[in-house]
A and B are shown apart, each in its own frame.
Chain A
Amino acid sequence: MTYLTKPKFHHPSLPKNTLGYTRRDYEAATSTLCAGCGHDSISAAIIEASFELAIEPHRVAKISGIGCSSKTPTYFLGASHGFNSVHGRMPSVLTGANLANRELIYLGISGDGDSASIGFGQFAHALRRGVNMTYIVENNGVYGLTKGQFSATADRGSKSKKGAVNTDNAIDLAAMALQLGATFVARSFSGDKTQLVPIIKAAIAHRGAAFIDVISPCIAFNNHPGSTKSLDYVRAHNEAVNALDIMIGRDAITVDYEPGKVVEVTQHDGSVLTLRKLNDDYDPSDRLAAMNFLQQETAKGRIVTGLLYVDGEADDLHGHFNTVAMPLNQLNEPELCPGSKALDKINAGLR
């Protein structure tokens, strides 16, 4: 790209990030979701994470499916390019977009209906391919947009607002992501910004398929007693395994941690993830242990949150394909077209 980024000027008192952007530069249209919807808190966390990371808003592609959750890209990063695709197909659209230009930051926004039902296949395949993206599922256990039907992440035995009991088993998207080889897997809660913001930052800094399952209560259809995705239920059953600080570059760690209570992971881009252990036995670099732990705690009725797994040495789909550094959408005739001489040779070989 041939231009220089020109920071906008705002009220001088607004704090700026290292690029000179204020939080406002990462905001967008006012949300039309229900007041108190968990999804809005996630949008706020994305804005905060983007501001703190000082990413250039226009270098982000925010891509979603269909649902209340998938509508949220309209409500954050207004200067970014948005793509509100069709129900359940965000992962494929994002994969294609990523192949065309490896230089942008890809934010995939989805819902539990979008990713665990209609788009379960695409969810799985994008993760197993290692597409470099931050894939966020705003998980409320229901189809919010179509007014409260159970989704595939609704726990067995949980009750709908109208009193129906769910008899199907639940899909645990974080557990699935671990099994599918995602190289960054986290779970968080829309009501816990302190936990969520650093996780989003770390996911964006991660090169590879980063998946975040964010429990995000639906105020309108799934916040009643008997729901296992209500604000109260999640607060009561939340079991955070760690607390994350992310350092971009090689900044000195300023916080003092108790020895033995900290895990550090350095990612490709140099970002250092400093994880303060809340559970002494939890090791976020051990995929198998993470899978086991998740199953055990889920069986006990606990909702495990935190950075569940990260592979700092991860590679992505472009790495697997060994594609050129120059984005494919910038290649032209000289790089792409073999020309008439080569074609003459091909013709000669076909006679």
Chain B
Amino acid sequence: MSLTAVNDFVIRFANVNGSGSASANEMFARAIMRMGIPMSPRNVFPSNIQGLPTWYEVRVTEAGHLGARGGTDIMVAMNPQTYNADVASVEPDGYLIYDSTRAMPPGKPRTDINLIGIPLTAICNKEYSDPRQRQLFKNIICIGALSALLDMDITELEKLVGEQYRSKEKLIQPNIHALHLGRAYAEANFKCPIGLRLQRSDKVGDRILIEGNAAAALGAVYGGATVCAWYPITPSSSVAENFTKFCGKYRHDPATGEARYAIVQAEDEIASIGMVVGAAWNGARAFTATSGPGISLMQELFGFAYFAEIPSVIIDVQRAGPSTGMPTRTQQCDLINCAYASHGDTKHVLLLPEDAAEAFEFTAGAFDYADRLQTPVFVLLDLDIGMNHRLCRPLQWDDTRFYDRGKVMTAADLEAGKDFGRYTDVDGDAIPFRTYPGTHPTKGGYFTRGTSHDARAKYSEEGADYVEGMQRLLRKHETAKGILPRPVRHDAGKPTRFGVIYYGSTAPAMHEAAEILTARGHTLDLMRVRAFPFHQDVASFIADHDFVFVVEQNRDAQLRSLIVNELDIDPVRLVPILHYDGTSITARFISSVIGDRLDALKVTPLRKAMS
């Protein structure tokens, strides 16, 4: 028996890191997209496993389900070190494609899957003498063979080769030749296509394929960031690296070549956030990109920026903690650490993009929110969004949009006699005016400090001054609720007592799970939370339902805790659905856990099922 499906399967490449497989795999994924078939690629790159394995998974999904599916239908097993485990992970009736030149490591043979042996090394060795060429073209030959096995349009691959080597034209022909070598071998030796195959479609539309980190970096460019300070850490480094790349392209004075930005690779995360706070205090839009360990180090200055009211933007690409945890695995585990970062009473603004398109929008917007609210703003991505290419709607920019610099008093304002009190709430939104240092010789100067201060920035240990300031910060948090991206509600269309709250990278899996659950006869209303502090709509949504599942990717139900804490919700009504093993959350997982609970509810009294 063999699996059969059109435009609906998961293929996984098991490779050795550094073998040049990444670009070949990416070409494979892109060719599927060019055939109009939605697909969702994911990198799995363990940080410390022998044999330097990396896996690249492509979920081919006519239905457009971009979350991870789980399971592998076709395994392309190119890493001897992980071979046995890779073979074991293939779904029954699935396919194993392997290099048949040499015998693979001994292991338990499987009789319930289809074996496709291609003598890749032998083909390479016959064709090429240079060892580097042998290595590189092996990957391409493999893709060529797959194109026949899966009925992929070879011209899409050829076009992609042409695009990739536009500037190194002499590499185009050899690559195309390698593709055809593989394709010809497969056509001559196997019945092509196999049961799982591709068929041209029109479901991709105008969507683009981009990594969340690159999109966030573009958001920083479009949002007007001029200062970036960072310290390398997986999975966030490519935010700063992409920002550097895009600034190189878009941010130089065409006449002089001078840079309209400054990027510092700082000595650590404390220095990174210090530079961001210093630059933002001085009127530049500044950000840092980091991950959990960096967030831990930055705490003291988050509290400073909160209390002294300095706009700053922090992009946190979350990975599995605590401590070094699983540095190359995804999680949504920094919510609470960011929401209440630093000692003392603090609350911070969080933005929770679901994909690369929102990573772009929210990052660009973060600079407006930070300037408007004069406070740190955290953009919480995670490894799943940040380091994987994902199909998303095209990035958009409205050219009439202006940067909202917030309440800044200018030299002219001061000259005209406007009263300046740095921490004075003049119009009821709890946001005071600030000046940029150096604005006016005699007016608008003030002292910025982390010690308590009165409404005119004077040092004060008067309890009343302190309490007034702390209360105003709370009111400012209220103001934030009306400014930040609202939650997105999607009702089932018929009445239900059950709702689901989710956020960030859980979105695609959740949407797919909702479809599965509908098919199982369960009706659910959905709400995707996009920011903290929570908009009133979140409380209304919970009020509209008896029970709300809160689906998230951490052990401690962090979003649920935030909801309970901030909205005073009875915890019994919020049912945690938690996935935190470091792999991407799947619709299979969500639908089975929620489905089982709901099935149980149908036959057992409510109290019992919930306890």
Contacts and interface: CB of A to CB of B under 8 A. Distances in A.
A343 B222 contact: yes
Given A83-B448, A97-B437, A338 B271 contact: no
Contacts of A92: 229, 266, 270-275, 278
A71 to B, nearest CB: 10
Interface footprint category on B: 35 or more
A84 interface: yes
Given A96-B274, A96-B277, A96-B282, A329 B261 contact: no
A156 interface: no
Interface residues of A, number: 68
B257 A57 contact: no
A100 B278 contact: yes
B395 A343 contact: yes
B224 A337 contact: yes
Residue among B204, B279, B396, B412 having the largest count of chain A Cβ atoms under 10 Å:
B279
Nearest to B258: A324
B27 to A, nearest CB: 14
Nearest to A102: B262
Interface in A285-331: 317-318, 321-325, 328-331
Interface stretch (A73-81, A174-182, A251-259): A73-81
A163 B215 CA distance: 61
Given A99-B227, A100-B226, A324-B256, A85 B442 contact: no
B403 A332 contact: yes
Nearest to A89: B274
B241 interface: no
A81 B210 CA distance: 43
Interface stretch (A33-41, A58-66, A235-243, A262-270): A58-66
Interface string B256-298: 1111111110111011111111111111101000000000000
A174 B274 CA distance: 24
B173 interface: no
A101 B399 contact: no
Contacts of A325: 258
Nearest to A331: B260
A96 B279 contact: yes
A324 B253 contact: yes
A96 B278 contact: yes
A343 B222 CA distance: 9
Contacts of B277: 85, 93, 96
Contacts of B300: 86, 89
A350 B301 CA distance: 37
B438 A99 contact: no
B449 interface: yes
Nearest to A92: B274
Contacts of B439: 1, 58
A59 B270 CA distance: 27
B440 interface: yes
Interface in B519-547: none
Given A95-B278, A100-B279, A342 B250 contact: yes
A318 B446 CA distance: 26
A275 B93 CA distance: 87
A129 interface: yes
A330 B204 CA distance: 41
B259 A101 contact: no
Contacts of A96: 227, 229, 274-282, 284, 286
Contacts of A56: 441
Nearest to B225: A336
Interface string B427-449: 00000000011111110011111
Interface string B303-332: 010000000000000000000000000000
B450 A84 contact: yes
A125 interface: yes
Given A96-B277, A121-B267, A337 B438 contact: no
Given A100-B227, A350-B210, A337 B441 contact: no
Given A79-B441, A97-B279, A329-B436, A340 B399 contact: yes
B394 interface: yes
Nearest to B444: A58
Contacts of B122: none
Contacts of A125: 266-267, 271
B574 interface: no
Given A99-B275, A324-B259, A338 B222 contact: yes
A85 B450 contact: yes
A115 interface: no
Interface string B231-259: 00000000000000000001101001111
Interface string A1-12: 111011010000
Contact of B226 (A86, A122, A329, A346): A329
Interface in A8-53: 8
A58 B271 contact: no
A338 B249 CA distance: 10
Residue among B204, B262, B397, B403 having the largest count of chain A Cβ atoms under 10 Å:
B262
Interface in A87-110: 89, 91-101, 103-104
A197 to B, nearest CB: 24
A125 B266 CA distance: 8
A136 to B, nearest CB: 17
A177 B229 CA distance: 23
Contacts of A147: none
Residue among A59, A95, A122, A331 having the largest count of chain B Cβ atoms under 10 Å:
A95
B218 A89 contact: no
A347 interface: yes
B471 interface: no
Contacts of B304: 85-86
A331 B283 CA distance: 10
Contacts of A100: 226-227, 278-284, 286
19 contacts: A6-B442, A81-B448, A89-B270, A89-B301, A92-B273, A93-B277, A96-B229, A96-B278, A96-B279, A97-B437, A317-B262, A321-B262, A323-B262, A325-B258, A328-B227, A328-B261, A330-B283, A331-B224, A336-B251
Interface of B: 33-34, 204, 206-210, 218, 221-222, 224, 226-227, 229, 250-251, 253, 256-264, 266-268, 270-284, 286, 300-301, 304, 394-399, 401-403, 411-412, 415, 436-442, 445-451, 459
Given A95-B264, A96-B275, A328-B279, 11 more contacts: A58-B445, A73-B447, A92-B266, A92-B271, A96-B229, A122-B270, A322-B258, A339-B397, A347-B206, A350-B209, A351-B33
